[in-house]
Amino acid sequence: MAYCPACKTEWEAPLRECPVCSGELTAEGEASGWTLLGTIRDKVSADFAQEVLSSYEIPAVVISKSGFFGQAGLTFNTFYKPGSSLFEISVPTEHVQEACEILTMAVGDNWQRKED
Ligand SMILES: [Zn+2]
C-alpha cells in the first residue's frame, strides 16, 4: 500500500509516484508524518512558498482557509482580523526545520510559524 499526502488517496500497488498528481507517495502509516508548519497571509505568498519548497524537494500541502468567504448574506469578518492568515501549510515532519528556514527566506513576514 502507498499513500499520497497531496491527494489523500491510497494505492494498492507499491507505487513510488502518485498516478494523479505525480507526487511522492509514502508507505501506509506514514500519512500522519505531516506537520502543520504555520499560516501564510495571502495566496501569492502561499503559491510562491510551495514552489520554493518543491525546488528544495520538500513537498508541501497548502490548505485555503478562505473558503468561508463569498457566501451570500453571510459575513465572517469577526473571525478574521485584518492581516489574519488564510492559508495553512504542512510539510513532512522530517523537513520541518529546513522548511521553516526556507519559508522565512522566501516569504519573510508573510508567513507565521504555528506556535506549539
Ligand atoms: Zn497525488
* SS3 state at 100: helix
Per-residue model confidence as pLDDT tens digits over 14-32: 788 888 898 888 876 544 5
pLDDT tier at 69, thresholds 50, 70, 90: very low
Strand 61-64, strand 9-11: pairing? unpaired
- Gap from CA of 73 to ligand 1 centroid (Å): 36
**pTM exceeds 0.95, yes or no:** no
- Gap from CA of 13 to ligand 1 centroid (Å): 14
Per-residue model confidence as pLDDT tens digits over 35-58: 889 999 888 999 999 999 999 999
Per-residue model confidence as pLDDT tens digits over 1-13: 788 888 887 887 7
- Gap from CA of 66 to ligand 1 centroid (Å): 23
Per-residue model confidence as pLDDT tens digits over 81-91: 444 547 889 89
Q: Would you state the cell numbers that stand for residue 89, as one nine-digit string?
A: 501549510
- Gap from CA of 81 to ligand 1 centroid (Å): 33
| Dist CA 9 CA 115 (whole Å) | 29
